[in-house]
Structure 1
Amino acid sequence: MEDVLTANPEVATTTAANRYFNRELSWLSFNQRVLSEACNPNYPLLERLRYLSISGSNLDEFMMVRVAGLAGQVQRQIEEVSIDGMTAAQQLSAIREAVIELESAQQDVWRTLREELAQEGIVLADGKRLTPLQTRWLRDYFVKHIVPVITPQAIDPAHPFPFVANQGMGILFPLIRTSDGAHVMEMVLIPQALPRFIRLPGEEATYISIEDLLCRKAALLFPGFRVQGHGVFRILRDSDLEVEEDAEDLVRYFRTAIQRRRRGSVILLQLQDDIEPAVEQLLREQLRLDRAMVLKTRGVVGISGLSALVEEDRPDLKFEPYSPRYPERIREHDGDCFAAIREKDIIIHHPYESFEVVVDFLRQAASDPDVIAIKQTLYRAGKQSAVIAALIAAAEAGKAVTAVVELKARFDEEQNLHWASQLERAGIQVIYGFVDWKTHAKVSMVVRREDGGYRTYCHFGTGNYHPVTARTYTDLSFFTADPRAGRDAGRLFNFVTGYVEPQRTELLTMSPIGLRETLYEYIEAEAENARKGKPAAIWAKLNSLTDPGLIDRLYAASADGVQISLVVRGICCLRPGVPGLSDNITVKSIIGRFLEHSRIWAFACGGLLPNARAKVFISSADGMTRNLDRRVELLVPIRNRTVHDQVLDQVMVANLIDTEQSWLLGSDGSYRRVGKAENPFNLHRYFMTNPSLSGRGAALTSGHKVPKLALRRGAA
């Protein structure tokens, strides 16, 4: 793929588009950057294949949620336009072109990777001749392991067209009965319990896809028939859940809604490029494709399924395993998290430092006889959650435990219902929060009996309490025993559990009450400094930036002379570098081994960034309208000097000076890789090899210093 990725030019045809990029096309551009990592020659081969599969699963979710939502707007004749002035129908038209281009690029990348994998002894046998030994083994495997699981079904008036589940794959076989020459259409739906790829025996890793196996062995399935052809297809359905404001019982509502999602309207029909015309016509008629996109594929149907091949045991074709460090600060206190936090604030930088410290914080709270209460938010916790186990252990030990479980966490609703049930059975008070707002803040609060009174210990995170994503997402975990933070955390829980809106907060800022206004105030303060001729700068690191109000404030600050450097991994609707609008704004996106997920804001406060006076915050919120107005989020100030330096002088500076994983956003919507630098810098490699500041404890004074990062003015 090329090193410059350009958004669809249609975004520049309206007045609003002169100020903003289209949200959906910006996301597709992000997924193109993910796909580009599959072409990165510096990555091991199976890791490149992983990026290809990720780009496929990303596109699936985009279709099931974003495209489905736009199609619903068209169907309901909703006239709302996007931030850049496009109607839903116009967006769908532009998206269709971009999706076709992206899917074609995915197949091109797959053809290249397939050849390179074959050179390394990993072969996909689809469409290729097999050895006699392989053929015999495959026949035996098919009869013993596949035939008992699948159910061929004739399609005729006596056998109506079957329901095809979301992300379901099937094959239609046109047949001729040998006894009378009658034409018959048969369908085989591929159960998701079957492996997508089967590994044949032998030293060489030879795989065959389940769909190719079924097509090869169709004669065994249909004795007495001649197979005239086949057509492989896959569908995606509308998977967005809309919560009704008058829902009387959220748990019952979501159990029903999850079932409805599995039967949502078809939003994408993907077909093999050489599919039989009769098969295609039947699918179009039976699947009711009024709102659906039909995509013909010259390659793998359902490219996300290639993730199965990444599991091949070839460590030489994967990243060298990385073991996160456990913070020395905690070890210096013999593993006593509370003693370390009580001494001073500490921040943990995941995945470079272990998520186990977060789990240990809760485990210690569960077993500590002086801990009397634990309050915890849960947005995504994963399938095997040590956090859930620690909360249950705490309840069984007699602690008062409250868990705010967010049922509206997209695609984790069913898992969260399961955890809520487990927690309730353990005697934990489970709260589901607001009907129309998601509780997205990441907070853990432990109340401990100390010195004749109570002390509250808090954990605030930029990421979820999810042990799997914590190994690949870069996030920040902030621990503090500041009484103000504890009181504010208590106010947040009372707000969510009892709708008691806090009249004031002492340290934290939360949305939807005041987070937007706080950001506006700090942006305006920088603008005022610029108008007075003082140094003025804003640094921010976000996953997405789409809110027009926030973008307009940044535009205004830029016009006043504020130097604004943004690191936005995914969607960015802000146009940087436009004369008279955003001259002083630069935007970069970082895509690499780890997924950048932490949210950080820094305001210069009258000096050049970085400086000790700067106001620094971490947050659970992105720069999106939903985060600022329709979610419970937190903005957490960083005041401890060491932690302040780690977040600002280390994390933010490293993001700004990275050259090896960075893409620069142009005013025309194109993303350009940062070229080869005289002094190349890879922020992921840097943090994998250099311990953090606040987690090092006494090691900071031992002479083994963390290399100081320097920001070249004008380079960001």
Structure 2
Amino acid sequence: MSAERPLAIAPEVSGVHRLEPLVEALEVRDRPSLRAIDLAGRTPPASGLGDSVPTDLGAHELYLNRELTYLNFCWRVLHEADDDRGPLLERVKFIAIVSSNLDEFFQKRIGGLKQQVGAHVTTTTPDGRTPQQQIADCLELITALEKKKIHILDKVITELRANGVWIAPFKELDPHQQTWVREYYVRNIFPLVTPQAMDPAHPFPFVSNMSLNLLVSLRYENDTESLLARVKVPVSGGTQRFVRVGTSRTFVDLADVIANNLDLLFPGMEIEACSLFRVTRNAITERDEEEAEDLLELIEIE
């Protein structure tokens, strides 16, 4: 809620309820208003909607888009993460919720819209958007949402450090901490990691949905030709995404730990570059299991 005066519903006028401020002012704590958030994807209200009941119920301006209103909900969740009155770790959770919601949004909502585009569907929704227009508007709003989320995350990480909790890159650790993390990696993570090379004899491997991966560019010593390899970050099966450094309150991203210890996976090779990537697959693809010729292939695709 914002710090504006509370509103009351006045008597009905011409079938439309009007909102008028209460005369009595109540003490409300200051809080950033949700109206300050840039909701670029919101369908604008119909002109004169508050003055009379519209007669054309087919007017696009009367309807909100299902996909964009869901993204506006994500804005409201992110707003909670930006509220510095909330508990710090709860704000971290809100950021994680937004990320999880967007993952699901791409798997289901964007995936469904892309299927419609692929089927050459041009039918418009009640708010007047085609599937392709919905994708474009969603991506515009998501881009703004991601920028805001990164800004809030940086702020929250700074506040965590002020409270003694450090989410640190591997290279910022002191030599003693780096040695401890490397030994932990060798004992607990290294046996779970299997690099996959990519060359003419080994095509690009299948990348499972939502998995974290490192794409590594490397070459042999005294060789000018670069090679590519994919390393899957093992964050399932009880393996935590962040490695706690000893008994301290310092944590390191597991992907960052692997990326800075690639010499163990590729001994005698020079690491040229390493990037983190993830694939989000369509989650609503329907397949006929009875007609599938290769059940293993069907399971891998899904």
> Could you tell me the TM-score, scaled by structure 2's length?
0.77
**Structure 1: how far apart are the matches of 2:231 and 2:267?**
15
Gap change, CA 1:2 and 1:105, over 3 Å in 2: farther
Gap change, CA 1:10 and 1:59, over 3 Å in 2: closer
1:263 corresponds to 2:295: no
1:8 corresponds to 2:51: no
Q: Which residue does the alignment assign to 1:208?
A: 252
| 1:161-310 map, 5 Å | 161-193=204-236, 194-202=239-247, 204-240=248-284, 242=286, 260=298, 263-264=301-302
- Residue 83 of structure 1, CA deviation: 2.0
* 1:152/1:186 contact within 8 Å kept: yes
* 2:197/2:230 contact within 8 Å kept: yes
- Residue 125 of structure 1, CA deviation: 1.3
Q: Which runs of 4+ in 1 moved over 6 A?
A: 256-259
**Structure 2: how far apart are the matches of 1:175 and 1:2?**
50
Q: What SS is found at the alignment partner of 1:81?
A: coil
- Residue 182 of structure 1, CA deviation: 3.0
- Residue 35 of structure 1, CA deviation: 0.8
Q: Structure 2 residue aligned with 1:149, among 192, 199, 203?
A: 192
Q: What SS is found at the alignment partner of 1:176?
A: strand
Q: What SS is found at the alignment partner of 2:208?
A: coil
Q: Give the residue type in structure 1 aligned to 2:40.
A: N
- Residue 3 of structure 1, CA deviation: 3.1
1:49 corresponds to 2:81: no
Q: Which residue does the alignment assign to 2:19?
A: none
Gap change, CA 1:257 and 1:156, over 3 Å in 2: closer
1:27 corresponds to 2:73: no
Q: Give the residue type in structure 2 aligned to 1:92.
A: I
**Structure 2: how far apart are the matches of 1:30 and 1:124?**
28
- Residue 212 of structure 1, CA deviation: 0.5
Q: Which residue does the alignment assign to 2:20?
A: none
- Residue 209 of structure 1, CA deviation: 0.6
* 1:239/1:262 contact within 8 Å kept: no
* 1:10/1:94 contact within 8 Å kept: no
**Structure 1: how far apart are the matches of 2:138 and 2:212?**
23
Q: What SS is found at the alignment partner of 1:141?
A: helix
Q: Structure 1 residue aligned with 2:111, among 54, 64, 68?
A: 68
**Structure 1: how far apart are the matches of 2:167 and 2:242?**
9
- Residue 175 of structure 1, CA deviation: 1.0
Aligned-pair Cα RMSD in Å: 2.7
Q: What SS is found at the alignment partner of 1:112?
A: helix
* 1:241/1:261 contact within 8 Å kept: no
Q: Give the residue type in structure 2 aligned to 1:25.
A: L
Q: Give the residue type in structure 2 aligned to 1:3.
A: L
Give the length in aligned residue pairs.
Answer: 255
> Could you tell me the TM-score, scaled by structure 1's length?
0.34
- Residue 242 of structure 1, CA deviation: 4.4
Deviations along 1:210-253, one digit per CA (max 9) or x if unpaired, are 11111111122211111111111011100015488xx9xxxx89
**Structure 1: how far apart are the matches of 2:134 and 2:258?**
38
**Structure 1: how far apart are the matches of 2:300 and 2:60?**
36
Gap change, CA 1:261 and 1:41, over 3 Å in 2: farther
Gap change, CA 1:126 and 1:36, over 3 Å in 2: same
* 2:41/2:138 contact within 8 Å kept: no
**Structure 2: how far apart are the matches of 1:262 and 1:16?**
45
Gap change, CA 1:76 and 1:87, over 3 Å in 2: same
Structure with a larger share of its residues in strand: 1
Deviations along 1:191-215, one digit per CA (max 9) or x if unpaired, are 332321111113x311111111111
- Residue 77 of structure 1, CA deviation: 1.0
- Residue 16 of structure 1, CA deviation: 3.6
**Structure 2: how far apart are the matches of 1:262 and 1:29?**
34
**Structure 1: how far apart are the matches of 2:75 and 2:299?**
28
Q: What SS is found at the alignment partner of 2:191?
A: coil
- Residue 17 of structure 1, CA deviation: 2.8
Q: Give the residue type in structure 2 aligned to 1:240.
A: I
Q: Give the residue type in structure 2 aligned to 1:176.
A: R
**Structure 1: how far apart are the matches of 2:69 and 2:207?**
31
Q: Which has the higher contact order (CA 8 A, sep 6+)?
A: 2
Q: Structure 2 residue aligned with 1:82, among 108, 114, 125?
A: 125
Q: Where in structure 1 are there 5+ consecutive unaligned residues?
A: 265-716
- Residue 78 of structure 1, CA deviation: 1.9
Q: Give the residue type in structure 1 aligned to 2:219.
A: I
* 2:41/2:137 contact within 8 Å kept: no
Query: For the pair shown, which has the larger CA radius of gyration, 1 or 2?
Result: 1
- Residue 189 of structure 1, CA deviation: 1.4
- Residue 12 of structure 1, CA deviation: 4.3
* 1:172/1:188 contact within 8 Å kept: yes
Gap change, CA 1:72 and 1:13, over 3 Å in 2: farther
Deviations along 1:628-663, one digit per CA (max 9) or x if unpaired, are xxxxxxxxxxxxxxxxxxxxxxxxxxxxxxxxxxxx
Gap change, CA 1:47 and 1:142, over 3 Å in 2: same
**Structure 1: how far apart are the matches of 2:296 and 2:148?**
33
Q: What SS is found at the alignment partner of 1:188?
A: strand
Q: What SS is found at the alignment partner of 1:147?
A: helix
Q: Give the residue type in structure 2 aligned to 1:234.
A: R
Q: What SS is found at the alignment partner of 1:230?
A: strand
* 2:170/2:260 contact within 8 Å kept: no
**Structure 2: how far apart are the matches of 1:105 and 1:214?**
28
1:58 corresponds to 2:101: yes
Gap change, CA 1:92 and 1:148, over 3 Å in 2: same
| 1:386-535 map, 5 Å | none
